[in-house]
Structure 1
């Protein structure tokens, strides 16, 4: 099934891919691997600010991670020109803005992981890491970077 058809079935409309806000590229390809720079959570076009364990729930952050996954897919689309050229989601690296005693970073990251599997099927299942950090750019609650393989 076409990735675009699956996105449509899930009610997902891809946003315009984000532009870099400093001296870096949003995507870089080496061989068949595409590396996407970290994308921060946004809500209504602005950084989704929050700190897990202080002023944001795990469920809210899961939604933030899901929204990042949609933005990452939009960047993949911009890079490849055709999401059907993506053969596998290889790895996610998730950073969760959290207090020292918060320990559910892995659950937050599921918001993104589950969406990749819903969109790409078995090819969306990936390796991943999730870490808690004391702060993220602009106070964002979550940042995720991605590695994908293309045909």
Structure 2
């Protein structure tokens, strides 16, 4: 099944690439590697803010990470013109806005990892880091960076 058919089957419409909120580019390609800047959690177009372990549960964090993955795929689409050009999702780096006692960052970022695996199959399986941080810009719950290999 094609990537666009998989997205359609999952009921996912990719968003337009977001305008950077500061002095950076949304993506940079060097050789066959595509580096995506951090994308923050949004819900219904607004920043999904909050700290895991305080205002948000692990399940809500997973959903926030799932939505970030959709935004990341929108940027991949804008960068490549065709998601079929993705050879591999190489690595994710997930940052989770969490209280010091929260230890389920890995489960939160699974919300993004699992969706990328669903959409890209084996090409979507990747290396990953998941960190708990004291704060993320704009108070967002989750921020994720992505590295992909492209044709």
TM-score (norm 2): 0.99
Aligned-partner Cα distance in 2 for 1:22–1:54: 28
What is the CA deviation profile of residues 84-119 of structure 1, one whole-angstrom value per residue up to 9, with x for unaligned ones?
A: 000100000000000011000000000000000000
Aligned to 2:18: 18
Aligned-partner Cα distance in 2 for 1:146–1:29: 12
Aligned to 2:90: 90
Q: List gaps (5 residues or longer) in structure 2.
A: none
Q: List gaps (5 residues or longer) in structure 1.
A: none
TM-score (norm 1): 0.99
Aligned-partner Cα distance in 1 for 2:133–2:23: 23
Aligned-partner Cα distance in 2 for 1:95–1:72: 14
Aligned to 1:117: 117
Aligned-partner Cα distance in 2 for 1:18–1:65: 16
Root-mean-square deviation (CA, aligned residues, Å) is 0.6
Question: Which one is further off, 28-37 or 13-22?
Answer: 13-22
Aligned to 2:51: 51
